[in-house]
Amino acid sequence: MSSAPELKATLTLPYTAFPMKANLPQNEPLRLKRWASMRLYEELRKAGQGRPAYLLHDGPPYANGPIHLGHALNKGLKDFVVKSKTMAGYDAPYVPGFDCHGLPIEIKVDEHLGRKKLEMPVPDVLEACRAYAQKFVDLQTSQFERIGCFGRWSKPYKTMDRAYEAHTLEAFYGFLEKGFVFRGLKPVYWCIHDRTALAEAEVEYAMHTSPSVYVRYQLTSDPGAIDPALAGKQVSTIIWTTTPWTLPASLAVAFHPDFEYVALEATTGDSCCEQTSIYIVAADLAAQVAVDCKFSATKELARFKGSQLEHTTYQHPFLDRSILGVLATYVTADTGTGAVHTAPAHGMDDFYTGVRYNLDPTCRVDATGHVHVDPAAWNHAAPPAFEGLKVWAANPVIIAMLEERGALLASADLNHSYPHCWRCHKPVIYRATEQWFIGMETPVKRADGSETTFRQLAVEEIDKVIWDPAWGKERITNMIATRPDWCISRQRIWGVPIAVFMCEKCNKPIIDPALNRSIVDRFQREGIESWATTPTEDILPAGAKCAHCGGTEFRKETDILDVWFDSGTSWYAVAESDPELKEIYKGFQQNNGTEVLYLEGGDQHRGWFHSSLLTSVALRGRAPYNHVATAGWTLDEQGRAMSKSLGNGVDPVDIANRLGGEIVRLWVASVDFREDMAASENLMKRCADIYRKLRNTFRFLLGNLNGFEPLRDQIAEADLLPLDRYMLARTRELTENVLGWYAAFEFHRIYHAINDFAVIDLSNFYLDVLKDRMYTFAPTSKERLSAQTVLWKITEALTRLVAPILSFTADEVWDYLPKVEGREASVHLAQFPKPEGIFSEDPAALLKKWETIFEFRKEALVEIEAMRQRKEIGKSLECKIRFLFRKSSEGTHWFADSKHLLMLKEILNVSEVEILYIDQNEILKMLPHGNDDDIKLWAANDGIEPQLDVHKVTALPASGTKCARCWNYMPEVADYGIWQNVCTRCSEALHEMHIDPPQSTEAAQ
């Protein structure tokens, strides 16, 4: 047992049980369990009582699949906001939501049930939809929790909750009773495959080939009334369309009132059977029309303004119908003929023109897309050839009819961008249907009682909201200003029924608030299923009469509400109604300064931000939020959208399982979310590398805190060594910045600043130069305790500052921090550090003062590196640094005196520092650029401007003898027992550590 006691063993090396290897995929689930068992979310709510409130109201993701990276980004950002607000001293509850109704789920369930669905009662189908949605609510919940997102996951809001559904219906009744709702025929996007109206948001554009035809419409009114030059002549106009199936619905031809039109005498056919006809077309398009219609020659007979053509009449090319000449400013001069075929049942512009000219918008294309003839315009025994054909099949038949009648001037195929259904991806049509609408021009009153319209009030409310980034404001303003009336009905079953009774006689709804309340109660009690299962007489009071016609027969409306209406009323069903949120939200509505944030992808300006604004403005006269932030898209490294076919997707769940949920979080923090963001396996691995560095920094900090007891060992700020004070000032500066960036949602700046601090300030500098003090000084020495006091404050502050982002790791570090009585059980229950608690002074002046030291340090490091390159030294401790400053009466750098030699020695990590003051010219001669001219110049200026910066830094071999313990070259070394070459500083430290000089090979005490 007689081994020589080792001098090395007397060093105080870092030690911590905090593991170097994170094992995130294994350890994160354990921490999640711990958070669950300590009921962390409930504890946070308790802790928040009495604090000012902050409400991030969650936009519900659609519950029909596992989460993708966009979801992870969305929930990650929200989690940063909620956690940082909580740690900044707010009560910030977070109730996540799920959007559950609607077509995508109903279609999936349809596919699954197949023909069985037809025999199933409605409640059973609804139950199947509910189960389908719940399956994905559960899956997404577990996935969001896996990446460390806090929230009330045990009781999220779901748009299919009974209470939510009842609230949605109640909100609809609010619109109905306040006069916003009307039923009308209106063209809507219609999918003939899914047999449903589609919202704008449910339409996507793709290429589609359509027939492009030029059709002759013969003038039946007096041509002389248009222009005298045409008197007595046979005149026609030409329309151009890519939807021949809409021609049976053609009721008008629209001209631009301000365009110039010409009457062309056009020659067609070859020399043997030449023919001339007169056509009216826009002057600017005449040449192109002549080419497309193969006119061999044209001659302009007359020229006139489009306004001349109003109320002209034409013969429909194959129906017994007179076509009206109308004016419209949407007519363009870049395609077609300037004469626009107008079918009010099949186009939005056409519809509004029809309203102005009192045209009948009745639609004769049925829900499955079959075309039917208007009996009033067909005086033949046999139906026309297109009768009963699907729109696409009707096209060639109608083109053949046009040709037969000599009305077809040209026909070709056109490949163009065309609206398609977002679900079945088949082309959609515009079709006028009976729908329920919310009228954008409904008269409303402002808070001050003045009159305005719903649309205008919504626009005014947008102005009171903070839009981040700012372009969102203009975007949503334009959308609200130009949007058509809101079509809120859908012809499906998986959604909240428009629970209204319609009079069989006059087709008007019963609007009876008492009846409406009773149906809301019924939904609350029995669910939406009750609308299908309860007989009318059990809901309607006996003897109910129509207020309009006195009718007594009623039918139940079978349409359901648009899902955007569902989610758009979440402020009402959740924020205003949930026991945990309603007081906070009430405060916001009373303008008590509470912030209500909506944070979603940029496409929600036409989605959830939009529908929520409309419902809240209509029912409460104000926007439902005062702050809206939007995120860009997640793309691959080449800027392409992620897709299965490209195989460039990044699955956040897979990343969490392989690299850790923390890595997903770190990636979210690394991107500037307001722009489009790149993600890839590569970038995730880079985040994992950054993570390892951060973790090692924490480990090193913790290791150096071994044995430190804050209450016992802390040094007062005034007594700290200058370098330690400098680091506290840096930490305070970092803290101030980070707190500001959390408040401004600038998470990527936090990510960069924390990384830079960990790598540049800590690893490459402070922790490196501290090694001498930390390892060789006695643990009880003031110098070492000064460093530990600062390391403790840095670690404490850093742990709290990163907790919203690195939620798992910060909480793990928290467990290993030196124990402090009464500290919170989790970092997430703690608050952000107070900058003045880290360092009491304003750091700016001190940091400024230190800038020069770092400039000199940079020069010294260059000299040391040069010595190393010349193989004159190995470690920097083998050298001494000499600073030569000019002798002057104007003062010196603040650190350039004998008081600061030890500090300089430490930050330069050398054995010795020497400061000499000599004649300026002597220094100048030593500088590489110090030629005689320069010296004369300097000399000439001497005495006029103090040249404080005339200096020279030199690295020299250290004098003295290498201490066997601290490896510094010291002027005095001596034996310490059997240990040879121990410097005075080390032997004093050993005495202070009560290590007596060992006299034999027995271990030292």
- C-beta of 202: minimal distance to Zn ion in Å? 9
CB atoms within 10 A of CB 655: 24
Q: How far apart, in whole angstroms, are the C-alpha atoms of residue 600 and residue 477?
A: 17
Which helix or strand (DSSP H or E) is residue 186 part of?
A: strand 181-191
User: What residues numbered 143-202 form the site for Zn ion, per CB under 5 A?
Assistant: 191, 193-194
Q: Which of 144, 325, 361 is nearest to 236 (CA)?
A: 325
Q: How far apart, in whole angstroms, are the C-alpha atoms of residue 79 and residue 90?
A: 14
Q: Which of 500, 456, 423, 509 is nearest to 199 (CA)?
A: 423
Q: How far apart, in whole angstroms, are the C-alpha atoms of residue 827 and residue 794?
A: 15
Binding mask 703-742 for Zn ion (x = CB under 5 A): ----------------------------------------
**Residue span binding Zn ion (CB under 5 A) among the ranges 45-53, 86-94, 172-180, 550-558:** 550-558
Contact 781, 12 (CB under 8 A): no
Give the binding-site size for Zn ion (rule: CB under 5 A): 18
Select 67 or 502, whichever has its Cβ closest to Zn ion.
502
Q: Looking at beta carbons, which pairs linking 192-195 to residues 24 or more positions away fall under 8 Å?
A: 192/367, 192/368, 192/369, 192/390, 192/391, 192/426, 192/428, 192/429, 193/421, 193/424, 193/426, 194/103, 194/107, 194/421, 194/423, 194/424, 195/367, 195/368, 195/491
- C-beta of 518: minimal distance to Zn ion in Å? 21
Residue that the structure tokens 């990276």 belong to = 69
Select 87 or 191, whichever has its Cβ closest to Zn ion.
191
Select 191 or 671, whichever has its Cβ closest to Zn ion.
191
Q: Which of 277, 276, 264, 275 is nearest to 227 (CA)?
A: 264
Select 197 or 617, whichever has its Cβ closest to Zn ion.
197
- C-beta of 964: minimal distance to Zn ion in Å? 8
- C-beta of 532: minimal distance to Zn ion in Å? 23
Using CB under 5 A, pick the residue from 287, 506, 862, 866 that binds Zn ion: 506
Distance of CA 62 to the CA centre of its chain: 15
- C-beta of 970: minimal distance to Zn ion in Å? 6
- C-beta of 877: minimal distance to Zn ion in Å? 10
Select 459 or 913, whichever has its Cβ closest to Zn ion.
913
Select 27 or 781, whichever has its Cβ closest to Zn ion.
781
Select 44 or 544, whichever has its Cβ closest to Zn ion.
544
- C-beta of 429: minimal distance to Zn ion in Å? 11
Residue that the structure tokens 């809507």 belong to = 188
Q: Decide: helix, strand or coil at residue 598.
A: strand
Select 511 or 956, whichever has its Cβ closest to Zn ion.
511
Contact 794, 724 (CB under 8 A): no
- C-beta of 548: minimal distance to Zn ion in Å? 4
Binding mask 929-968 for Zn ion (x = CB under 5 A): ----------------------------------x-xx--
In sequence order, what are the beta bridge partners of 207?
A: 417
Contact 788, 727 (CB under 8 A): no
Select 45 or 193, whichever has its Cβ closest to Zn ion.
193
Binding mask 424-453 for Zn ion (x = CB under 5 A): x-----------------------------
Using CB under 5 A, pick the residue from 208, 505, 749, 823 that binds Zn ion: 505
- C-beta of 346: minimal distance to Zn ion in Å? 17
Select 423 or 952, whichever has its Cβ closest to Zn ion.
423
Distance of CA 635 to the CA centre of its chain: 13
Select 554 or 741, whichever has its Cβ closest to Zn ion.
554
DSSP conformation class of 696: H
- C-beta of 111: minimal distance to Zn ion in Å? 13
Q: Which residues contact 888 (CB under 8 A, 6 or more apart)?
A: 917, 920, 946, 947, 948
Q: Which of 815, 822, 765 is nearest to 790 (CA)?
A: 765
Q: Which of 603, 648, 651 is nearest to 628 (CA)?
A: 603
- C-beta of 416: minimal distance to Zn ion in Å? 19
Contact 964, 949 (CB under 8 A): no
**Residue span binding Zn ion (CB under 5 A) among the ranges 106-114, 354-362, 414-422, 701-709:** 414-422
CA 904, 908, 912, 916 torsion: positive or negative? negative
C-alpha distance from residue 569 to each of 60, 159, 410 (Å): 11, 9, 51
CA 907, 912, 918, 922 torsion: positive or negative? negative
Binding mask 551-580 for Zn ion (x = CB under 5 A): x-----------------------------
- C-beta of 189: minimal distance to Zn ion in Å? 10
Distance of CA 326 to the CA centre of its chain: 46
**Residue span binding Zn ion (CB under 5 A) among the ranges 542-550, 641-649, 692-700, 727-735:** 542-550
Q: How far apart, in whole angstroms, are the C-alpha atoms of residue 477 and residue 483?
A: 10
Using rule CB under 5 A, residue 503 touches Zn ion = yes
User: What residues numbered 606-635 form the site for Zn ion, per CB under 5 A?
Assistant: none
Rg (CA), the chain: 40
Binding mask 53-92 for Zn ion (x = CB under 5 A): ----------------------------------------
Which helix or strand (DSSP H or E) is residue 114 part of?
A: none
- C-beta of 148: minimal distance to Zn ion in Å? 38
Two structure tokens written together for 371:
């075309």
- C-beta of 103: minimal distance to Zn ion in Å? 8
Contact 261, 331 (CB under 8 A): no
Using CB under 5 A, pick the residue from 95, 125, 126, 421 that binds Zn ion: 421
Between strands 912-918 and 260-268, the pairing is: unpaired
Select 458 or 973, whichever has its Cβ closest to Zn ion.
973
Select 110 or 859, whichever has its Cβ closest to Zn ion.
110
Cis omega (within 30 of 0) on the bond before 66?
no
- C-beta of 499: minimal distance to Zn ion in Å? 18
User: What residues numbered 982-1001 form the site for Zn ion, per CB under 5 A?
Assistant: 983, 986
Residue 200 region by backbone torsions, left for phi larger than 0, else alpha for psi between -120 and 50, else beta: alpha
Select 69 or 873, whichever has its Cβ closest to Zn ion.
873
- C-beta of 553: minimal distance to Zn ion in Å? 9
Using rule CB under 5 A, residue 910 touches Zn ion = no
Using rule CB under 5 A, residue 546 touches Zn ion = yes
Which parts of 301-378 fold into alpha helices (H)?
348-357
**Residue span binding Zn ion (CB under 5 A) among the ranges 246-254, 479-487, 495-503, 588-596:** 495-503
- C-beta of 424: minimal distance to Zn ion in Å? 3
Q: Decide: helix, strand or coil at residue 302.
A: strand
Using rule CB under 5 A, residue 778 touches Zn ion = no
Select 59 or 551, whichever has its Cβ closest to Zn ion.
551
CB atoms within 10 A of CB 936: 12
In sequence order, what are the beta bridge partners of 198?
A: 189
Select 303 or 425, whichever has its Cβ closest to Zn ion.
425
Interacting residue ranges for Zn ion, rule: CB under 5 A:
191, 193-194, 421, 423-424, 503, 505-506, 546, 548-549, 551, 963, 965-966, 983, 986
